[in-house]
Structure 1
Amino acid sequence: MKRAFPWHIVVFLAPAVLVYSLFSALPLIDTLRLGFYATSEAGHYSFAGLANYATILFDPQWSQAFWNAMWNNLKFFLIHMLLQNPIGLVLATLFSLKGLRGERTYRTLIFLPTLLSVVIIGFIWQLILSPLWGVGESLLSYAGLADYFAPWLGQESSALFTIALVSVWQYIGIPMMLIYAALLAVPEEIVEAAHAEGAGALRIFWEIKLPLIWPTLGLVTILTFVANFNAFDLVYSVKGALAGPNYATDILGTFFYRTFFGYQAQIGSPTMGAAVATLMFLVILAGVGMYFYLVQRKLTRYEL
């Protein structure tokens, strides 16, 4: 008997495929194409092959800014990995404990900054950390730490780290909630059996709960990587497109913005901007590929 074609599947998938194609796949393909072209003074496009990429990677006028942005982006990601995700794991573990009073309120308060606009977050922290009218110095004085206050956003050595800490504070609720949901999904029978065998809470966490939530920790890691290498809005709202001081907070997102749209004395170039965007895409693709090859395969074998 001949089977009927599953038209209902096509009908349900068509809207999602159409939206994804129009607003994601086609713009990505066109960006990849545009990176192989150069723009003349008259605005005409001509095929240039890999010339744009060679200019960005090896021309001293471009490569210094690009590699500086790449290095800053890597530091931005590492700060999140070393602070945001471990703190999110600790908070999720605490909230998963039975009998904790007010845990719903604490979860809501910690997750709330995630819902706020990045522009508002950047403006508020600029006011707090301002050495002229900010309240940061006063708050530190209450704890006897006023001598440690400094214009952290205005110093090359501390500006990027300060913005990264603001980003950690804003988005720590995301890994916290993902890990919290994974901990709640751990079978209660396994935990009770471990208790019956005399295992303590710390041993149960390290030997039972942590191995069972490794896939979620891997997901949190790759989401952090993709989000950080796509970051732009917080740096732009706090330090502007120049990502000062002296490009100390410049990341790939702000470098792309100046290249594509231009800023002050720098003239924008859509073709060079497309090349920068393509390099960003390749960096993210390489990171995701390494995760699936080095981490996800081992997690899959571990589950089997």
Structure 2
Amino acid sequence: MPLFSGRCLSTAKLVGKTALVTGCNTGIGKETVLDFYKRGAKVIMACRSLERAEAAKADIEKSCKDLSDTGDIVLAKCDLTSLKSVREFAQNILDTEPQINILVNNAGIMMCPKGETEDGFETQFGTNHLAHFLLTMLLLPRIRNSTPARIVTVSSRAHIRYGINLDDLNYKKRSYNAAEAYSQSKIANILFSNELAAKLKEHNIEGVNTYSLHPGVIKTELGRHLNSSLFTGARQIIGFFLAPFMKSPELGAQTTIYCAVDEKCANETGLYYSDCAVTAPAAKAVNEADAKKLWDLSVELTGLGDFNPFTVNDPGVKTK
């Protein structure tokens, strides 16, 4: 256990609120769902595997069987390696959920071998950034009508190691580097959260705040690709040396929970957090020109066209 680990101390309840968490059948995502459920929220678990999500739901409900005023858990399939799946999931939510008060873009893949999503994007950039960008844009009209609302995107301190190549986001022109690609996707998470806050302000939209964060080095399945992307035994060796600094999933979820529910950050937006406190990210993650360019590229790559989630009046509008 690390020497210092921030913890969300808020006792805020979420009764009557709806939260949506991606990638939450294990790790910090599951712990986030557990916390929201204990606070009384209706929690939508957006997962690629409904079988694993069902097992996680059963485990959460069993662990809380003696508690009162718990919420409700709803399972929904969402494969972030497919923009079609993201669109279908988002439309299903718009058709069935009258409000979305908290969106947690949690799902992620780390340092996987070179590959592409269904739509031809580098796997980590496509999954960690583009899918969450599209999901957030499609749900934003409903989120705007659910204020006060918060959009929380899980990034990583790994963003500091490399830069972001906006001219070759999908490694078509350069040699693939798994660690670099992961770092790039995490920079994208922060740039996206920052620019989303800026655009909400430009459109005079109040009551929707955005947050990005570093959860810490966590003992989860996220590092499952290390052996294949680096060398055999890499996961075990890295885990040995990082063990004194690694958090449990429960501790790793604390900054996500803090950004989603704590009263102390209720009026903050577009900031980056670590251990439940505002922290300065690397300069390359707050470059306004890069944030704007990434936004425009993301709109193009996800096929949003002229759909404007900041002005559309019908929150249930169907996009192509």
- Structure with greater strand share of residues: 2
- TM-score interval (norm. to shorter): under 0.3
- Give the structure-1-normalised TM-score: 0.26
Q: Greater share of helix residues, 1 or 2? A: 1
